[in-house]
Amino acid sequence: MVEIRGIEFQANTDNDMGLEFVNLSHRFGYQCPNWPYFDDVHIERKHYMAKSGVLSQTMTHTMHVTTHIDAPAHVVQGTPFIDEVPLPHFFGSGLVVSIPKKKWEKITGDDLEKACGHAIRKGDVLIINTGWHKQYEDGDYFAYCPGLVQSAADWMVEKGVKVVGHDTQANDHPLATAIGPQRNGPIMPHLEAEYLEWSGGVPWEVDFPEWEPVHNTLFKAGILGIENVGGDLDSVTGRRVTFAFFPWNWDRGDGCIIRLVAMADKGQDYRIEAGEKF
């Protein structure tokens, strides 16, 4: 048991179900890290103990903050909103794989094949650990993250992945978003000269000529993306586990903050959602 403010709760590894529960979400709340051009999360106590004898809070924020899942309609017009995605899409077995990456490096299809090509199954949830969840803070994380590129999206479509999650800022490389030369960008124009030097003289519009190609490819194929995975990600990396990450039943929602949780039996030989052995 674990005691929190005088109340006893069953700990993650001490429960009647015999299951291990692992949090894979970053914190949400006051001054949590935010996309560079979004308004800050605003939380106001409408009622509090001294005033009303209860605690009640209101929040104003985007759904694309902290650990969250995008609906296809977030990027691709005419595709499903978050409340239209079937519920089984937010639950299932899958892999957590290690693909260490440094500043601005690309996550490719070859990377994915080497990491899990032998083990991936159709309908899997795939979570990618680049190591950048340790850099999640108000600063360089958003501008300098590594990111998925087109070959990775093509690989996931070919393998029939159901959902992909990653410990980076977007389903695309940051320079294929408005941070770089795309659509409403660049919102960080100073990065153009820095990238030119980093790339050895290749302009960023040459390396990233398309607007969010990974978002577009995945969403058109019915594959959703979880951004900013965090929490105790390292503890389940290299394992096959079961995931749950249900969003709100938000009418015409473009995405939703989630509590991403990995679940496993301690023996690592039971497939929870199918009720059968691995």
Q: What confidence tens digit (pLDDT) does each residue in 222-237 have? A: 999 999 999 999 999 9
Percent of the chain with pLDDT over 90: 87
pTM: 0.93
**Domain holding 254: CATH number?**
3.50.30.50
Predicted pLDDT at 3: 77
The residue-averaged pLDDT of 179-190 equals: 95
How far is 156 from 159, CA to CA, in rounded Å?
5
The residue-averaged pLDDT of 156-180 equals: 98
Predicted pLDDT at 112: 98
Predicted pLDDT at 226: 98
CA distances, 191 to each of 24, 181, 186 (Å) = 30, 10, 9
* Whether the predicted pLDDT of 278 surpasses 70: no
Residue 78 domain boundaries: 23-277
| Within-domain flag for 235 | yes
Confidence of residue 4 (pLDDT cuts 50, 70, 90): confident
| Within-domain flag for 250 | yes
DSSP H stretches of helix in 64-212 = 109-116, 141-144, 150-159, 191-198, 204-207
Amino acid at 156: M
| Within-domain flag for 1 | no
| Within-domain flag for 267 | yes
* Whether the predicted pLDDT of 158 surpasses 80: yes
Tell me the three state secondary structure of residue 14. coil
| Within-domain flag for 16 | no
In the chain, how many H helices and how many E strands?
A: 7, 17
Count up the domains in the chain and report the number: 1
| Within-domain flag for 12 | no
Predicted pLDDT at 109: 98
| Within-domain flag for 130 | yes
Q: Answer whether the bond into residue 186 is a cis peptide, omega within 30°.
A: yes
* Whether the predicted pLDDT of 277 surpasses 70: no
User: pLDDT tens across 83-129, in order?
Assistant: 999 999 999 999 999 999 999 999 999 999 999 999 999 999 999 99
